[in-house]
């Protein structure tokens, strides 16, 4: 039986040629047992008739704010609360732009803005529209709101040009929804501690030694683990990202020593610990009490001392039933260095990301990883958004970890 049975799904359809595929998507969702409410933008009706959608779903299509002849008001707020998920397929560049910027001039975007449920967006458009900086920025904005983007496929487009822009096939959209619902609560009851972001090692009251970590990878892991039902504590260095899920316990630290201290305190109760932080390996031997002056002074010589290795310290104390995951950020000799860290720090699994892969590592919204297990097996993943990378890492942990 499909996990979609009994789920309330709003199917948003916008005005693009791929709207013909929405009929199949509606049919597959209904077949899986979902209750499907279609909402069409006015231009979607130029591509596929409301009659087709209402026949397939057994529900009248909603397109306007009210029914003209009866004056019946369609409450976007009620619809937004009713839904377990909202799927917008196809999503045109225009609708994506309106969603990203809150232009609520039709029933679909208004409902989107009211929806509390997870939103899945399947873009479909010409390849140049897809690659335009405006579309790229709007899709990035939707991701930053926590929406799930179902990437379009490459192939021949309506323009007969070949490239990225074909709406993903309905079967795969349904599979994505099924994966999403079946993984929710799959980590219920698990205590997870995640380190994230950089550490800052103070030189004087206004300067520090740090690195480029933004915290995006660690926070993406925290969000996905919390969505799957884990009790998550994130021990975070100074970052500008924040946790969206209020259930995530955020412990803010600045230096490596503070991070070790906070992580050690959370460690005892942890079932799974993920070391995603970029911890400074060295700190100044002394912090100047006042701002180090330039004029009339020779450049100072920095004396550094080693910071604690948090993963190695806690790896050495790992008890039966605990599962430790490290990251390896490499620039050369990647596989060997990562495998060595896995052993040295007594980890159960290590996630390698290399700065030689474009779009991977620090600061980016994407990452490209290889997972190495304790038995030496390697799984290579494509470049993906960090939210999807987080899902891959948690799937891998789930397949290896047995409490
Ligand atoms: O934050 P983002 O901008 O999203 O970037 C993500 C990331 C690149 C920071 C992340 O994906 C990542 O690779 N994190 C680990 C970075 C790192 O310090 O790698 P490392 O190879 O130097 O360290 C190996 C492991 O030991 C890591 O799990 C690290 O957290 C841990 N470590 C390292 C040094 C130290 N003193 N204490 C540690 O715990």
pLDDT (tens digit per residue) in 292-345: 998 888 998 999 999 999 999 999 999 999 999 999 999 999 999 999 999 999
Q: Contact 301/288 with Cβ under 8 angstroms?
A: no
Q: Whose CA is nearest to atom 16 of ligand 1?
A: 278
Q: Whose CA is nearest to atom 27 of ligand 1?
A: 327
Convert the pLDDT of each residue in 106-146 to its tens digit: 999 999 999 999 999 999 999 999 999 999 999 999 998 99
| Residue 70, pLDDT score | 75
Q: Contact 369/396 with Cβ under 8 angstroms?
A: no
What is 15-33 written as a DSSP string? SSGGGHHHHHHHHHHHHTT
Please say if the pLDDT value at position 100 is more than 90.
yes
Alpha-carbon torsion (15, 20, 24, 27), positive or negative: positive
List residues bridging with 37 in a β-sheet: 10
Convert the pLDDT of each residue in 356-383 to its tens digit: 999 999 999 999 999 999 999 999 999 9
Pocket of ligand 1, candidates 144, 197, 200, 213: which has the most ligand atoms within 8 Å of its Cβ, to mutate? Answer: 213
Q: Whose CA is nearest to atom 35 of ligand 1?
A: 309
| Lookup result for tokens 């397109």 | 63
Convert the pLDDT of each residue in 171-211 to its tens digit: 999 999 999 999 998 999 999 999 999 999 999 999 999 99
Q: Is 211 one of the catalytic residues?
A: yes
| Residue 18, pLDDT score | 96
Please say if the pLDDT value at position 43 is more than 70.
yes
Cα of 277 to ligand 1 centre, how many Å?
5
| Residue 77, pLDDT score | 80
Atom number in ligand 1 closest to CA 220: 4
Please say if the pLDDT value at position 403 is more than 70.
no
Structural domains in the chain? 8-183 (3.40.50.1950), 191-402 (3.40.50.10300)
pLDDT band, residue 158 (cuts 50/70/90): confident
Q: Contact 41/63 with Cβ under 8 angstroms?
A: yes
- CA 382 to CA 394: how far, in whole Å? 16
Please say if the pLDDT value at position 68 is more than 70.
no
């Amino acid at each position: 039986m499909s996990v979609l049975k009994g789920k309330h799904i709003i199917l948003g359809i916008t005005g693009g040629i791929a709207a013909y595929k929405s009929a199949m998507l509606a049919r597959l969702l209904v077949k899986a047992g979902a209750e499907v409410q279609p909402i069409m933008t006015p231009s979607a009706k130029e591509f596929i008739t409301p009659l087709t959608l209402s026949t397939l779903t057994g529900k009248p299509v909603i397109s306007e704010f009210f029914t003209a002849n009866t004056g019946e008001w369609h409450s976007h707020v009620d619809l937004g609360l009713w839904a377990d998920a909202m799927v917008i397929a196809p999503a045109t560049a225009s609708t994506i732009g309106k969603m990203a910027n809150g232009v609520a001039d039709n029933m679909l975007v208004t409902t989107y803005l009211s929806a509390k449920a997870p939103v899945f967006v399947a873009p479909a458009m010409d390849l140049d529209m897809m690659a335009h900086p405006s579309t790229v920025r709007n899709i990035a904005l939707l991701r930053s709101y926590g929406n799930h983007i179902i990437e379009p496929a490459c192939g021949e487009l309506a323009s007969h040009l070949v490239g990225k822009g074909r709406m993903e096939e309905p079967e795969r959209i349904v599979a994505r929804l099924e994966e999403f619902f079946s993984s929710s609560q799959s980590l219920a009851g698990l205590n997870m501690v995640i380190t994230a972001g950089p550490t800052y090692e103070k030189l004087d009251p206004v300067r520090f030694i740090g690195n480029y970590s933004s915290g995006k990878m660690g926070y993406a892991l925290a969000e996905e683990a919390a969505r799957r039902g884990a009790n998550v504590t994130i021990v975070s260095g100074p970052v500008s990202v924040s946790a969206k899920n209020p259930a995530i316990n955020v412990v803010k630290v600045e230096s490596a020593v503070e991070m070790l201290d906070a992580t050690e305190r959370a460690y005892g109760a942890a079932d799974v610990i993920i070391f995603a932080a970029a911890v400074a390996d060295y700190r100044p031997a002394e912090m100047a009490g006042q701002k180090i002056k330039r004029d009339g002074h020779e450049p100072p010589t920095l004396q550094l001392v080693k910071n604690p290795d948090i993963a190695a310290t806690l790896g050495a104390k790992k008890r039966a039933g605990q599962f430790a995951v490290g990251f390896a950020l490499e620039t050369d000799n990647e596989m060997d260095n990562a495998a060595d860290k896995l052993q040295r720090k007594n980890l159960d699994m290590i996630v390698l990301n290399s700065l030689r892969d474009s779009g991977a590592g620090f600061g980016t919204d994407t990452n490209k990883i290889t997972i190495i297990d304790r038995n030496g097996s390697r799984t290579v993943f494509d470049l993906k958004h960090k939210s999807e990378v987080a899902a891959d890492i948690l799937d891998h942990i789930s397949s290896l970890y047995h409490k």
